[in-house]
Chain A
């Protein structure tokens, strides 16, 4: 009887522990950690954060406060801020700026130079004229475009770093940081996460994505590459990445149509017209999101050949190019990190 009892206990313990093992192995405990997620409207778009940390709420608030501060200083769509002041004093005098503004202006000039002006923050007067961000966009006359092109030129941004001042040389010049400020803000968010010891988080500032670490189970984040012709939330491929910034540019983000022609928001600073390079979307993967932001615009304006050349010249930067024929090209370094989704509509080209 005693034996029977021991046998019974053994069997029961075996059953119990085996079921416990199952519980423990599928799936690992830490993947079940509930993240803190937030969505806020800022910088004229929606900011989404996912933070794996007990203080997620507090940290996400700090990030949003920082982003709103950056927006206040750099916007040209609302009154106030240092960039508005820089523009007001164009052709007149130097203006005192804080070190963030100087850093961004220097970065902007750097990318203008390496892209031969395909990216240029002094495109402001043309962006305003086209009004793609306003409720009443219109096609400017050729004369208007021609005269505005005369005041577009990154070389006219004069930076005096020691005194933290900058000046625009010509009257009427307008710096528009729309193509780079969100990128900067994304990098600042990651700094705040790190300061709080967060190991796993991401932020999306209007689809400009910056990843901190990987997921809590140490696998990569899965980032969808927006389908330029599909609805919001559709994607043509998934990029697996950790600690990377991923930013897309395209003709679908903001546009108006007149007589069957699509006029989108990325104005080519060299022609004065919406970029017409044969691309409908570019996505850039890099360490810093300020770089990804500027480079995705530059690559979009440059087109497949020159854009690819530019990206390949810069170490640690990868890209996806989507042409108006719906052909998709990627840089070599991305090939083992990307899975294509919609093989029916898009054609994936292995070799350029």
Chain B
């Protein structure tokens, strides 16, 4: 009798332990993926206000976003990357910055107070002088 109860307990334990292992491994792998790769969120800000938030990894078709403020600007979004495509500001630093594709990448247009940033931190460098 007692042997039987133990066996039953074995089974239950085995199931619990297996489930625990599976859950923990899944959790760890999700956690790791979010840490290094994961979804890339681009945030567009004008005049210190967030105007759009895009998950770059889920972009399938290229799309253009118009910004009409002091200056007119066009932002181009493609799968996994984003950039200022056109701007009628004088220096065009924003356009010359080119594509942003890594976490922590930033493009700024100071005359128009606009910026695009990919959320998160770069592993290679924390911040760059100007």
Q: Chain A 1-35 against B: per-residue CB contact (8 Å), 1 yes, 0 no?
A: 11001001100100110011001000000001001
Expressed in whole angstroms, the minimum distance between the Cβ of B110 and any Cβ of chain A is 6
Interface membership of B108, Cβ < 8 A: yes
Which chain A residues border B93 with CB–CB below 8 Å? 232
Given contacts A2-B6, A19-B21, A232-B97, contact A41 B129 (CB under 8 A): no
Interface pair A1/B127, CB less than 8 Å apart = no
Chain A residue nearest in CB terms to B27: A23
Q: A19-B24, A224-B128, A226-B128 are contacts. A46–B115 as well, Cβ < 8 Å? A: yes
Residues of B95-130 at the interface with A, using a CB-CB cut-off of 8 Å, are 96-98, 105-108, 110, 113, 115, 117, 119, 121, 124-130
Chain A proximity mask over B43-55: 1 for CB below 8 Å, otherwise 0: 0010110000000
Minimum CB–CB distance for A297 against chain B, Å: 13
B17 partner residues in chain A, CB cutoff 8 A = 12, 16
- Within 8 Å CB of A215, what residues of B? 126
Is A232's CB under 8 angstroms from B127's CB?
A: no
Q: State A234–B25 Cα separation when bound (angstroms).
A: 38
Are A222 and B124 in contact, with the CB atoms below 8 A?
A: yes
Q: Does B65 contact A (CB under 8 A)?
A: no
Tell which of B6, B105, B117 touches A5, judged by Cβ atoms closer than 8 Å: B6
Q: How far is the CA of A32 from the CA of B121 in the complex (A)?
A: 11
A20 to B23, CA, bound (A): 12
A207 adjacent to B128 (CB under 8 Å): yes
- Whether B35 lies near A32 (C-beta < 8 A) is yes
Q: Please give, as numbers and ranges, the residues of chain A lying within 8 Å of B35 by CB-CB distance.
A: 32
- Which stretch (A85-93, A141-149, A245-253, A299-307) binds chain B? A245-253
Q: Are the C-beta atoms of B21 and A206 separated by less than 8 Å?
A: no
CB distance from A325 to the nearest CB of B (A): 21
Min distance, Cβ B118 to any Cβ of chain A, angstroms: 11
Q: What is the number of residues of chain B that contact chain A, defined by CB distance less than 8 Å?
A: 39
Main secondary structure of the interface of B (DSSP, over half): mixed
| Contact mask for chain A residues 237-248; partner B; CB cutoff 8 A; 1 contact, 0 none | 010000000111
Contact status B6-A233, CB under 8 Å: no
A135 at the interface (CB under 8 A from B): yes
- Cβ contacts under 8 Å, B47 to chain A: 41
Q: Does A115 contact B (CB under 8 A)?
A: no
Chain B's closest residue to A64 (CB) is B48
- B127 partner residues in chain A, CB cutoff 8 A: 48, 50, 202, 204, 209, 221, 223-224
Q: Are B48 and A8 in touch, CB under 8 angstroms?
A: no
- Chain A interface residues (CB < 8 Å from chain B): 1-2, 5, 8-9, 12, 15-16, 19-20, 23, 32, 35, 37, 39-41, 44-46, 48, 50, 135, 202, 204, 206-209, 215, 221-226, 231-235, 238, 246-248, 253, 283
* Additional A-B contact list (13), CB under 8 Å, known A16-B17, A41-B47, A235-B128: A1-B7, A9-B13, A20-B24, A37-B119, A50-B121, A207-B130, A209-B127, A221-B126, A223-B129, A226-B130, A231-B98, A233-B97, A238-B124
27 A-B Cβ contacts within 8 A? A2-B6, A5-B6, A5-B9, A8-B13, A9-B13, A12-B14, A12-B17, A16-B21, A19-B21, A19-B25, A32-B35, A45-B110, A50-B121, A50-B127, A207-B129, A208-B129, A209-B129, A222-B126, A223-B128, A223-B129, A224-B128, A226-B130, A232-B130, A234-B128, A235-B128, A238-B125, A248-B129
